[in-house]
Structure 1
Amino acid sequence: MTQTLINPSDLSEELLATYETVIGLEVHCQLMTESKLFAQDRNQFGTEPNTNIGPLTLALPGTLPKLNKKAVEYAVKMGLACGCSISSKTIFDRKNYFYPDLPKGYQISQDKKPICENGGVAIAIKNKEGEIVEKLIRFHHIHLEEDAGKSVHDGNEDDTLLDYNRAGTPLVEMVSEPDLRSAEETGAFVTEIRRLVRYLNISDGNMEEGSLRCDVNVSLRKLGETTLGTKVEIKNMNSIRNMMRAIVYETRRQVAILESGERIIQETRMFEVESGKTYGMRVKETMNDYRYFPDPDLSPVVISDEWLSSIRSAMPALPKELRRKFTEVYGIPSYDALVLTGTKEIADYFEAVCLATQFYKSASNWLMGPVKSFLNENSVEIGSFAIRPQKLAELIEITESGLVSNSVASQKIFPILLLEPERSAEEIAVANNWIQNSNTSELETLVDEVISSMPDKVAAYRKGKKGLLGLFVGEIMKKSNGSADPKLVNQLLNQKLS
């Protein structure tokens, strides 16, 4: 094997900057159908090995495949979400290769007539001026195929165990154009795809369970060149972080080879998490090695205008559409809209809060502040969050109306609502004497008392130590047991101290 003369870790950033990294992705996404793509066996993760199998999954003689209609509809949904052209007529092909986890000796996939073509996904990136801009990462196509089984080594170097539960699971494979230029862009692209499949409810997108896997094609060329370099494929990346690490290392490795006067070999490589390096697995196959031909056991799939229309009408609102709605209808900043559409569940919760209050920015602040902090600290999903949207809206209402202060709402009432979510926020405030005191005459008396008790501090304030205002406010809040209206207290203090 070719030996590089330069250590990849010794490369300078100046040298690396003279090269352009060109990246294309093949993203495999398992679909959440009840049964497999061509068999009635259960499509379920986490069951005992070889329990979701039957004669067709095991490729026993005489078995014939039957296409899962729901899987076709899920693939079309993904295509529509990405602005793809949907093929009115599509066929399935046999992709021939011989691995022990592939019972038939071939995989049913799509070659010349994929179900979706073109389209793409927009990602947010920083331009040279540091501004956030959108970049469209194009798809070449999206196609349907069945998954292979799983080889398990179980710590034994001599034996390979085979679990066919996954064999036949429906996949959509999304093949991008080589539009990505960095590990950061690639991470943003996969994150957006994962977000889309979850919004569409066609996959859980869990990379750690293999529901979403990526093959990453990396090549290099000198800045300004247009000809693509020799690509290297890194297989089965199952986390965004490790995928980005693999791209960074592979870029350095290829630069080191080229700078040593050697050539890149087109090959398939794997990523080793512990070392952070890629290593060679096999020389890359060409398309001819797979001997694609139409599967004679499956008829062409015709997607009529009526069928396509019914699929389109069942599509949910997608992140881009919701971001526009949140900024235009609810008037919240673009950053807030981006955060709140991170998951469909958070977006739905925010909209439910906005149905019960018109303080939309406050609703956004609560979700991105106290609510998000609680969810993260307790590893809780919003679907299991105890406080229902209407209850949070009520808390926002009594805060914005001045009935309770922001600090009382977030530090006292919110924790109680988490434990007793059926109670009313106002009822909790009344029961604990937390209703904000806006009685001017009563607060004026407290202000006078505090000023009289701290003559030295008052003198220092009047000589320019304006930071002492917070001390006076704190003393008044103590005297009122936290019930004083902070805004009114500040106004009264300013009047008297000036």
Structure 2
Amino acid sequence: MEFDAVIGLEIHVQIKTRTKMFTAAPYEYGAEPNTLTDAVVLGLPGTLPVLNYAAIEKCASLGLMLGCEIADVCKWDRKNYFYPDSPKNYQLTQNEQPLCIGGEIEIELADASRNAAGPHRWVKLNRIHLEEDPGKLTHESFDTVIDFNRAGVPLAEIVTEPDMSTSDEAVAFLNALRNLIIYAGISDCDMEKGQLRCDANVSLKPKGSDKLGTRTEMKNLNSISNVKAAIEYEIERQTDILEAGEKVVQETRRWDVNKAESFSLRSKEEAHDYRYFPDPDLMPVQMDRARVDELKAALPERPFDKQRRFEEAFNLPYTVTSVLCPNRELSEFFEEALKTHNSPKAIANYVANDLLRELSAGSEHGEQALSVSQCKLTPAHIGTLVKIIEDGTISKQIAKEVFTDMFASGEMPDAIVEKKGLKQSNDTGEIEALCREAIAGNPKAVGQYKDGNEKAINALKGPVMKATKGKANPAMLDQLLKKLIDEG
């Protein structure tokens, strides 16, 4: 029997706010353990939560970015369970009335995964709700360290419908989701810092059937590559069980990165005994519809929408837009550069290739890759460089040297050209003399050109460009060589 996989994801995103969800205690990654807590975080008797409305607004913005309906009213529930990382023995969450309902995310599939509808499809969401993060447990040889610094940090839990069928779709979904969240400034989504965490629900059903099979939940997926590996492992594991005539047990499984396999963590019954009830200390939140409209108006353009616009408005190829558009800073840098000089293709190539190459190389001190905002170049630098190339001031060959200099120094390209004497030579007499020398010195290339091989003329250009240190005007050089060969 053949089976279809059914995959749903639960993603926890740490919302970027100055303080925690229900207290003024701050949060920052990497602080000394248990230094960012207070009485509310620790659940001490007599403490009361105070709502962080900035987290509400950021979660609403996230929902709007993902096409969700924003509820008129959301309320808070206590999810009761005992675990060492939860100092209050309950977690504040939104069980019955979440902030964001429905929604969908556009994903792009790799060539090998594309379906009949093409490379893009939409994955449906069930909901997004707000909750507080528990603390962090670090297991050592003979002890477990509990750090409550993270406890109380606002989390958005994004729950998809069981709307994916392959690990590639899950990877495409996570990449698209991460991009949208970073674009909107809601979180940095650094998985190494725990800012984005994912659980995967996987089940199998007979091929073509609408009846869902028994699912398992995969935990501890702290990277996108682990999500892919865990899903593929679970599909294979469940296939072996069903082909052997046995039944899949509903359970929570933990992914072991080192062994590249999962193991059973606990059984998972249909009815969770979390004893949810409305939190008595927090009133329901009624959303201001006018404010929701303001949040929607403030959202950035979605990456795939921007990519389609760049391709249509600027006639840029997919190879360039797929580099520019996933990075909000890079794409905005490109559009700003157009205000200096309107030459989309040339500017896009410099931003997507030369600028990105230098940023990836890192700083002069050998640090990691730089962001656009950290480098000395401005959009005006790129726009001006393309302008002086196109008006014949410098050649593209000289422009390579100028680009390297202006990236390192922050000087404008025209100032570098002036200071170093790099202006393109238009001295016909000097260039003609060098062309005659090149023709006399390479009769083979001349013969090939006369026989119809147009590219053979490049062998004659090289010596002239070398003699002029790249300053010869390429267009003039081309015309002169052809004219002198034809006359000869």
Q: TM-score, normalised by structure 1?
A: 0.91
Matches for 1:118-157 after TM superposition, within 5 Å:
118-125=102-109, 126=111, 132-153=118-139, 155-156=140-141
Asked whether 1:408 is paired with 2:394, we answer no
Q: Structure 1: which 5+ runs fail to align?
A: 1-14
Q: Cα 1:452–1:129, aligned 2, differ >3 Å: closer, same or farther? A: farther
The correspondence for 2:408, drawn from 409, 419, 428, is 419
Q: Distance in 2 between matches of 1:304 and 1:424?
A: 48
Asked whether 1:90 is paired with 2:80, we answer no
* Counterpart code for 2:373: G
CA RMSD of the aligned region, Å? 2.1
The correspondence for 1:65, drawn from 22, 30, 49, is 49
- Confirm or deny: 8 A CA contact 2:445 2:457 kept in the other structure: no
* Counterpart code for 2:173: F
Asked whether 1:180 is paired with 2:161, we answer no
Instruction: Summarize deviations over 1:347-405 as a string: whole Å, max 9, x none.
Output: 22112212211011111101111111111222111111121111121111111222211
In structure 1, what is the equivalent of residue 377 of structure 2?
Answer: 387
Q: Distance in 2 between matches of 1:147 and 1:447?
A: 73
The correspondence for 1:262, drawn from 225, 246, 254, is 246
| 3-state SS of paired residue (1:107) | strand
1:151 deviates by 1.1
1:102 deviates by 0.7
Matches for 1:366-385 after TM superposition, within 5 Å:
366-378=350-362, 379-385=369-375
Matches for 1:331-480 after TM superposition, within 5 Å:
331-378=315-362, 379-410=369-400, 412-421=401-410, 423-463=411-451, 468-480=456-468
1:316 deviates by 3.1
Instruction: Summarize deviations over 1:100-144 as a string: whole Å, max 9, x none.
Output: 111111111111211110111101124657885321111100000
Answer with 140-149 or 353-362: which moved more. 353-362
Q: Cα 1:174–1:463, aligned 2, differ >3 Å: closer, same or farther? A: same
Instruction: Count how many residue pairs are aligned between Structure 1 and Structure 2.
Output: 478
1:441 deviates by 4.7
- Confirm or deny: 8 A CA contact 1:118 1:138 kept in the other structure: yes
- Confirm or deny: 8 A CA contact 1:24 1:179 kept in the other structure: yes
* Counterpart code for 1:478: K
| 3-state SS of paired residue (1:288) | coil
* Counterpart code for 1:470: N
Identity of aligned residues (%): 37
| 3-state SS of paired residue (1:67) | coil
Q: TM-score, normalised by structure 2?
A: 0.92
The correspondence for 1:303, drawn from 287, 290, 310, is 287
Instruction: Summarize deviations over 1:47-86 as a string: whole Å, max 9, x none.
Output: 1111111111111111121211111101110111111111
Answer with 286-295 or 384-393: which moved more. 286-295
- Confirm or deny: 8 A CA contact 2:397 2:470 kept in the other structure: no
Q: Structure 2: which 5+ runs fail to align?
A: 363-368
Q: Cα 1:456–1:309, aligned 2, differ >3 Å: closer, same or farther? A: closer
* Counterpart code for 1:415: T
- Confirm or deny: 8 A CA contact 1:433 1:483 kept in the other structure: no
In structure 2, what is the equivalent of residue 6 of structure 1?
Answer: none
1:471 deviates by 1.7
Q: Distance in 1 between matches of 2:131 and 2:117?
A: 39
Matches for 1:229-244 after TM superposition, within 5 Å:
229-244=213-228
* Counterpart code for 1:226: D
1:495 deviates by 4.1
Instruction: Summarize deviations over 1:397-437 as a string: whole Å, max 9, x none.
Output: 11122221112112x1111112221x231232233332223
| 3-state SS of paired residue (1:21) | strand
